[in-house]
Structure 1
Amino acid sequence: MPARRELTMRQIRQMLRLAGDGISAREIGRMLGVARSTIQDNLKRAQEAGLAWPVPAELTDAAIEERLFARSGYKQGVRRRAEPAWDELVCELKRPGVNLQVLWEEYRDQHPDGYGYSRFCELFREFEARLSPVMRQDHRAGDKVFVDYSGKRIGIVDRASGEVRQAEIFVGVLGASSFTYAEASWTQTLPDWIGAHVRMFRAFGGVPRLIVPDNLKSGVNKPSFYDPEINLSYGRMASHYGVGVLPARPFRPRDKAKVESGVRFAQTYILGRLRRQTFFSLAEANQAIAGMVDRINDYVMRRIGVSRRHLFETIERPALAALPASDYEFAEWGLARVALDYHVEVCGFFYSVPHELIRQQVDTRATERGIEIFHHGKRIAVHQRRYGGRKHGTDIEHMPSAHRRYAEWTPERFRRWGASIGPHTEGLITAILASRPHPEQGFRTCLGILRLFKDLEPARAEAVADRAVAIGAFTYKSLASIVANKLDRSTAAAGEPQAVITHGNLRGSGYFH
C-alpha cells in the first residue's frame, strides 16, 4: 500500500527548491508551516528517488508522487488480496438484519487470508462514495416509500373544445430498491392524493413501514420538526394499511433525496419521451406513463449493475407487509358540532344524530355513498349521502318523542284519517292542505278538526265538512263555530233560495218602496 504523504505536491516542489538553495530543514518547515521531521523525511525520500531541484519539466505531479511514495515492487491501484463484489454487497446490505459485520464474516469464510474488518469497511466506504448520493443513503428493504408530486405537469387535450388541461404527476419511490411508481391525476387535492397512494400500494403488492411525504397540505396540516400534524383523512388511510407517516422536515430536501432523484428521473423518462404525444384523456396519459415507468424500473443502473425491478423482486418485495383484504375507500374526515336541531352539516347538507348529543363535538366521515358520524370513537349515525333535493336527512329514531310524533304527520296520513270518516271530510282535509303555501302549515288545523269531529256522529261530521267547504271555512275556529251554532243543520236544499235571516240591523224589503 502506498505510504501516506502529509505535504501537497505544491509544497514538495517548494521544499525541493528551498533545499536546493541551501536552506535548512528547520527553516523550510517554518516557512511551509510543517514539522522539521516531516521535511527531513520527505528530503530523504527525494534523495533516495534521485530527485533534486530543478525538477525535470516532463515530471508531472503524479510521476513525482509515484517515485516518492510508492513502495518498492508495489503497483499502485492494484490490491494484493481478494476482494468481494462490492456492488453485490450494496444490495445485500439492504436486506433486513444485514450489516457490514455479517458481510465481512461471510467474506472471510470464503477468503481466510482476506482483509481485516477495518480495512474491509474502509474499502466498502470508498466504493460506496463513488455511487450516486441517493444510493449512499442507508435505506432498509421494506422500510420507506418516498412520495411527492412532480413540479412539471402533463397536458391533456379536450376533444370537444381543444382546451389543454394540465394534470399533475404523482411519484412514489421505494427506499431500498428505488422501484418507482408514477401516475397522472387532475389535482393535488385530498381525493387524488389518497387515491394515488391506494393504487401505488396495489402496484407494489405490499406496504412498507413508513411513508415519507413532503409537507403537501393534503397530507400534512401543520408542518413541524417535533410534532407534525397529519391530515385526519390521510392518517386514516395510513392506519388502514398499517403504515406510519413521517413527513420530511420543512426546507430539508435531503430528507427526501430519494424521491427528488426519482422525480427528476421520472421527468426525463416520462415528460421528455412523451413530449411529442397528444393525450385526450387521463386514462390515455396513464397508460403511456405506465410504459415509461416500466422502462425506468427495467433500466440497469450502471453503478451496481442491476435494475430497480431486480432489486425490488429479490430484496424489497419480500420485506413489504401484506396488503389488507380490501383497498382503502376514500373518506373525507371532519369535525362538527351538533346543532340545536340535532343535525350536523357535512358538505352543505344536514344529517341527524341522537338528540342527546346536542352541542357535542363529533367526527364525520364522508364517502362517495354514505355519511358516518362518530362520537368518542363510536359510530352513532349512518346516512345515505345527499347530493341534491331536501337539505336535511333525518332518522326518526334520533328525534325526541314529541318530535317523533310530529314527524309521523304527512298529508297522506291526514287524508286517510279524513277518508275514514267520509268523503266530505276527506275533501275538507284536502282543501285545507291545498290552501296553505306549504302542506305542513295545515297539519295543526287538520289535527284540531279531526279531534273536533271525534265527538260527533259520522253523519253530522260529514254535514259540517260539507258546510265548511261550501262557505270556504278552512280554519279551526270556523269549523268550531259551525258545530257550536249548528249551522250544518240548515234545511235548505242545495240549489234552493236560502231563508232571509231576520235581524234588527237588516233593512227589510219595504225599505226600498
Structure 2
Amino acid sequence: MRHLRQMLRLTRDGMSVRDIAERLGIARSTVQENLKRAEQAGLSWPLPGALTDEALEGRLFARAGVKQGLRRRPEPHWGDAVVELKKPGVTLQILWEEYRAVHPQGYGYSRFCELFRSFERRLSPTMRQDHVAGDKVFVDYSGKKIAIVDPRTGEIRQAEIFVAVLGASNFTYAEATWTQTLPDWIGAHGRMFRFFGGVPRLIVPDNLKSGVNRASFYDPEINRSYGMMAAHYGVGVLPARPRRPKDKAKVENGVRFAQTCILGRLRHQTFFSLAEANAAIAGACERINDHVVRRLGVSRRHLFETVERPTLAPLPCDDYEFAEWRFARVGTDYHVEYEGFFYSVPHGLIREQVDLRATSRTIEIFHRGQRVAAHQRRYGGRRHGTDPDHMPSSHRRYADWTPERFRRWATSVGPQTEGLITAILAHRPHPEQGFRTCLGVLRLLRDLEPSRAEAVSARALQIGALTYKSIASILANRLAAQPARGAEPTAILEHANLRGPGYFH
C-alpha cells in the first residue's frame, strides 16, 4: 500500500509510468495495473486522510461476487497441521505437498505458509516456540503451596507443588512435596518419568539451587547429584536463562493452569497427609489432560498418546536411587565424616580429597574415579565404621577391642578383677578411652596366681586406683596385703622392745 500511495502521488506530479517503475524498483506492468485499479475505484492523489491501508486494499483489490472473509480455495484443517508439525521430521513443505496432492488447485506454498502463520498468531499473541515431540519437558515449582494438617496436633504445614509439562503435547504432571530440597526435587523427577512412561531428550528446569549450582547463560553449572540422575535416565539438562521466564513458557502456563485447576478447585478440601493431597492432585491432572483444547479440537492426552509417547526413550530397568555427592578430606585417622559419623578408607589416602556418595543405605567413597571403600550407612550406635583392611598393620590387632571382650577376659581371672575392669571403663567419658588401661592391667595380672591377682584387684578397688601406673605400683611394692588408710587397726603384738602402757605411770 505504501508503493500504491507513491504511485498516485508521482502520477499527479506528471512522472511517466516508466520513471515510476524505475524509482520504486518494480515492474512497469505492475504500475500500469495498479493505476488502472485506482482509476476504476475513483481514487486519485491526495487520498482522504481517513483512508487506511486496509481500506485502500479493499477498494482496489475487492473481488466482485466474492464474499469478504471467505477463501476462494479449500484450506486444510490448521489445527491438524499444528499437531502434525510436532512430529519428528515434519515440515511445512511436507504438509503443503500433502495438501496439494488432495487439492491440486489449492494454494501455492508461500500463501499456504502465510495462512498457517496467520493461524498461529491467533493461537497466542506472543512468540510461539516450536516443540518437537519427545524433545523437552519443562519443570518447575509453583510459587503457591498447599496446606496439609497434622491429624494429631492440628499443625498446618505447607507443601510445595512440582509441575512438569511436555513441550509438544502439553501433557501435565504435578505432585506435592514437602520441600524444594535435592531429595524431593530428584524424587519428583523419577515419579514424573514413571508417569510419562518414557524419557524425553532434554529437561528444562528453572535455576533452582537444587538443580543448578551456578546460573549462567553461557555455562550453567549443574548440581552433581542432579546430573547423576539425568545420566541414569539418559536425559540432558538445559537450564532456562536467568530471569527469562519465556524460555520455559510451557511450564509457566502449566503452573498457572495448575494453580487454577488444583489449588482453585481443591481450596475447600482439607488434607491430613501428603498422600491424600497427591491423590487429589492426580485427579486434577486427569481433568487437565483430558480437557479438549478449543483451538486444536483434541485433548492433551490425545496428543500425548498419538504424538509424544511413541517418541519418548524407554525407561531404565531400575528407578534412580537418590544419592548425595560431597567432597571430603581424609583425616589423619583414615576416616571421612558424613553427618556426624565416620567411615574408613585405606590408610594410604590420609589427607587426600575424595568423593563421597551417600544413599539411604550405603556410603561409597571414590578417589580419582575409583571406588576405594563402601560402608553401610549409620544412623545410630558407634560413630566410627572401620574396615580392618583399611588399617595399618600396627593397628589391626586392636581392631576387635570392645568393653565386652575386656570383661570376659577379666572374668576368667576372678570377680575382683572383673569389678576392677568394669570400674576402669565406667570411669572414662567414653569406654574406648579405657581400652589401653584395661589391656595394660590385664597383662600385669596375666602371669600372677589367680589369688594374688584378685588381691591386687581388690586393693585397687578399695583405694580407687584406676590407672595402670597406680596398679603397677601396688604390685611392685607388695601393697595388696596392707590395710588401707582409715581401716580398723589390727591387735598390738607383744614384744620385748615394746614398753607398754605401764612404762608411763
Fold shared by both chains (TM-score > 0.5) = yes
Q: What residue identity is the alignment partner of 1:6?
A: R
Distance 2:438 2:46 in 1: 124
Match of 1:167 in 2: 159
Aligned pair 1:399/2:391, yes or no?
yes
Shift of residue 276, structure 1, vs aligned partner = 3.3
2:311 aligned with 1:319: yes
Instruction: Report if aligned partners of 1:354, 1:380 keep a CA contact under 8 Å in 2.
Output: yes
- Which AA in structure 2 matches 1:380? V
For 1:365, the equivalent position in structure 2 comes to 357
The residue aligned with 1:303 is 295
Listed as ranges, the matches of 1:11-90 within 5 Å are 24=13, 43-51=35-43, 65-71=57-63, 76-90=68-82
The equivalent residue for 2:2 is 6
What residue in structure 2 maps to residue 376 of structure 1? Answer: 368
Secondary structure of residue in 1 paired with 2:161: strand
CA contact (8 A) 1:177 1:315 kept: yes
Deviation at 1:311, TM superposition (A): 0.5
Matches of residues 23-422 of structure 1 in structure 2 within 5 Å? 24=13, 43-51=35-43, 65-71=57-63, 76-132=68-124, 136-159=128-151, 162-422=154-414
Indicate how the Cα distance of structure 1 residues 224 and 500 shifts in structure 2: closer, same or farther if over 3 A, else same: farther
Change over 3 Å in CA distance of 1:230–1:438 after alignment to 2? closer
1:179 and 1:238 map into 2 onto residues whose CA distance is 20
Amino acid at match of 2:330: V
Cα deviations by residue, 1:374-393 (Å, 9 ceiling, x for unpaired) = 22223323333333444333
Secondary structure in 1 matching 2:265: helix
Q: Which range is displaced more, 445-454 or 238-247?
A: 445-454
The alpha-carbon deviation at position 52 of structure 1 amounts to: 6.5
- In structure 2, the gaps of 5 or more residues are 483-487
- The one-character-per-residue Cα deviations of 1:336-393 (angstroms, maximum 9, x if unpaired) are 1111122222223322222221111112222233322222223323333333444333
- 1:105 partner SS: helix
Shift of 1:279: 3.1
For residue 381 of structure 1, give the secondary structure of its aligned residue in structure 2.
strand
The residue aligned with 1:450 is 442
CA distance in 2, matches of 1:487, 1:214: 78
Distance in 2 (alpha carbons) for counterparts of 1:40 and 1:106? 37
Question: Which deviations, in whole Å up to 9, do the C-alpha atoms of 1:110-160 show, x marking residues without a partner?
Answer: 334444444433333333333226893211111100111122223334445
Q: State the number of aligned residues.
A: 495
Q: Give the distance between the partners of 2:289 and 2:430, measured in 1 at CA.
A: 66
- The verdict on how the C-alpha distance between 1:443 and 1:100 changes in structure 2, with shifts beyond 3 A counting, is same
* Contact kept in structure 2, 1:25 and 1:39, CA below 8 Å: no
Q: How many angstroms does 1:290 deviate by?
A: 1.7
Retained in 1: the 8 A contact 2:8–2:45? no
1:193 Cα deviation from its structure 2 partner: 1.4
Deviation track 1:28-56 (CA, whole Å, cap 9, x = no partner) reads x99xx989989986553232124569999
Cα distance, 1:229–1:496 mapped onto 2, change above 3 Å? same
In 2, Cα distance between the equivalents of 1:418 and 1:59? 113
Instruction: After superposing the two structures, state which structure 1 stretch, 312-321 or 85-94, moved more.
Output: 85-94
> Helix, strand or coil for the counterpart of 1:262?
helix
User: What percent identity do the matched residue pairs reach?
Assistant: 73
Structure 2: which amino acid aligns with 1:24? D
State the 1:213 CA deviation: 0.5
Change over 3 Å in CA distance of 1:105–1:168 after alignment to 2:
same
Could you tell me how far apart the structure 2 residues matched to 1:507 and 1:251 are?
107
Task: Give how far 1:244 is off.
Answer: 0.6
Alpha-carbon separation, structure 1, partners of 2:52 and 2:406:
111
Residue 485 of structure 2 is matched in structure 1 by none
| 1:433-458 CA distance string (max 9 Å, x none) | 44555444443333233333444455
One-letter amino acid of the structure 1 residue matched with residue 317 of structure 2? A
> How far apart, in 2, do the equivalents of 1:41 and 1:501 lie?
157
Q: For residue 411 of structure 2, what is the amino acid of its counterpart?
A: A
What secondary structure does 2:157 align onto?
A: strand
Is the Cα contact below 8 Å between 1:134 and 1:258 reproduced in 2? Answer: no
**Structure 1 residues 443 and 278, CA, compared in 2 at 3 Å: closer, same or farther?**
closer
Residue 197 of structure 1, CA deviation: 1.1
In structure 1, distance between residues paired with 2:213 and 2:300: 33
Q: Which runs of 5+ in 1 are unaligned?
A: none
CA RMSD in angstroms, aligned pairs only: 4.0
| Helix, strand or coil at the partner of 2:444 | helix
* AA partner of residue 316 (structure 1): E
